Structure 1
Amino acid sequence: MNQVVVFVAIAVPVIFAVTLHEVAHGWVARSLGDDTAARANRLSLNPLRHVDPVGTVAVPLILYLTTDFLFGWARPVPIDWRKLRHARRDIALVAVAGPAANLAMLVAWGLALKLGFALDNGILISMSRAGIIVNIVLMVLNLVPIPPLDGSRVLSAALPPGLARQYLRLEPFGLIIVVVLLASGVLGRIVGPVLVGVQDALFRLLGL
């Protein structure tokens, strides 16, 4: 298969995975009282409104060329936590919305993969496999409780307010912590079995 076609087939699910992850945060925030993302026109499904040059373009491209691992991110949608009607509960709900969107896309790409095999369509198979990988990675990694990942928002909502504030002070260093844990292989050893388990469960569910 032409390498350009393969690249496009992989790029499409990556772009939509990171886009819908962020838009889901904004949709849920709006339903819970915060219209900040809506007023900033960040609830659009147009990927160009959410592209981050590093997270949506550079990182996925480097990973595509050097590994079998796919990961990326879009520009975070703006959320004013003070506008949420029930702050502690709603912060957790907004946070969970991103991984939930990835779960929905994961199932959709699984169904697309099954269709690709039935039609013997190489492009659809490649696209679906990429969609499955990136959505599993986004869903699982974002649930790791390292600020500012989504899992940290859920955990902070469950902690006493004082302890939550102390915990969230890690946020400026969160990306560095994640990169170090990934580069050292520590994070991979922790979440790797989860990634494999989620994929196996999906394949069993869909009969793949």
Structure 2
Amino acid sequence: MGLKISSLLMSALAVMLGIVVHESAHALAAYALGDKTARSRGRVSLNPLRHIDPFGTILLPLLMIAAGGPVFAFAKPVPVYLNNLKHPKRDEVLVSIAGPASNIILACVGAAILSLVASEAVAVALPTAVLSALVDFSFTFIFVNLSLAFFNLIPLPPLDGSSILVPFLKGDALHAYYRIQQYAMPILIVVLYLLPMVTGIDLIGMYFDATVYPLGDVLVSLALGR
């Protein structure tokens, strides 16, 4: 029971850090590209209170944990006014990519920490319990941030992938996509829960098997010198 609580706390901390940096990266990218809106509202900040959405960051993950299914979370959307950007069509994509990119960078930071704590000099200097906790957190931090990065690249709102995809769509394709957007949350619920329950097909699991886990394994192998 204690190990499970410890694991949940580590995951919660990793998710919170990942979300805070993710949203700050959006705001910072928008500011760098000409839109000061998010920065003026305090969204370039590592203070979680600046980014937390009561439903998306707290209630939704708790409900999903209780339901025993996949868990995801989202923060308050970062306000971006496209007309303020220097090159709106290009910069919208860059602002959207900034969030997932920040999580991939954090995963690399997690790998660097893992490499450090696994080194002989540090391993000898630290108590076993502390060393074990740092190693476990490093693993968690790597895979949580990769999960946040690739999950947010799914092209459905409110995820970043939708903003990345839209500038490349035109005509009928764009209109069809806007119609699909109205049902984004039900689609996510079906893909995350109903489809695996009814058919045994786990599309998110398959997607993560092709993205998150291979990249995570590479980072872990590099960190441990395998």
TM-score, normalised to structure 1, is: 0.85
Q: Over aligned residues, Cα RMSD in angstroms? A: 2.6
Does the aligned pair in 2 maintain the 1:147–1:168 contact within 8 Å? no
Corresponding residue of 1:97: 98
C-alpha spacing 1:58/1:127, structure 2 compared with 1 (3 Å): farther
Does the aligned pair in 2 maintain the 1:36–1:78 contact within 8 Å? yes
TM-score, normalised to structure 2, is: 0.79
Q: Find out whether 1:142 has 2:152 as its counterpart.
A: yes
What number of residue pairs does the alignment pair up?
Answer: 208
1:124 to 134, 141, 158: 134
Deviation at 1:168, TM superposition (A): 3.5
Equivalent residue runs for 1:147-166 within 5 Å: 147-160=157-170, 163-164=173-174, 166=176
The runs of 5 or more residues in structure 1 that have no matched partner are none
1:15 alignment partner, SS class = helix
Does the aligned pair in 1 maintain the 2:70–2:192 contact within 8 Å? no
Does the aligned pair in 2 maintain the 1:148–1:171 contact within 8 Å? no
Identity %: 34
Deviation at 1:109, TM superposition (A): 1.0
Deviation at 1:61, TM superposition (A): 4.3
Q: Find out whether 1:201 has 2:218 as its counterpart.
A: yes
Corresponding residue of 1:23: 24
C-alpha spacing 1:205/1:169, structure 2 compared with 1 (3 Å): farther
Deviations 1:62-112 (A, max 9, x none): 556776965322212111122212111001000100010001100011122
C-alpha spacing 1:90/1:105, structure 2 compared with 1 (3 Å): same
Q: Find out whether 1:182 has 2:192 as its counterpart.
A: yes
Superposition misfits of 4+ residues, deviation over 6 angstroms: none
Does the aligned pair in 2 maintain the 1:99–1:139 contact within 8 Å? yes
Deviations 1:129-168 (A, max 9, x none): 2211211111111112223321222221222377435524
Q: What is the rounded CA distance, in whole Å, between the counterparts of 2:70 and 2:54 in structure 1?
A: 19
Counterpart residue identity of residue 154, structure 1: I
Task: Out of 182-191 and 55-64, give the one that drifted further.
Answer: 55-64
Q: What is the rounded CA distance, in whole Å, between the counterparts of 2:44 and 2:170 in structure 1?
A: 32
C-alpha spacing 1:205/1:2, structure 2 compared with 1 (3 Å): closer
Corresponding residue of 2:198: none
Task: Out of 126-135 and 56-65, give the one that drifted further.
Answer: 56-65
Deviation at 1:5, TM superposition (A): 4.8
Counterpart residue identity of residue 112, structure 1: I
Does the aligned pair in 1 maintain the 2:27–2:43 contact within 8 Å? yes
Corresponding residue of 1:9: 10
The runs of 5 or more residues in structure 2 that have no matched partner are 196-201
Q: What is the rounded CA distance, in whole Å, between the counterparts of 1:148 and 1:52 in structure 2?
A: 13
1:170 alignment partner, SS class = helix
Counterpart residue identity of residue 198, structure 1: L
Does the aligned pair in 1 maintain the 2:16–2:48 contact within 8 Å? yes
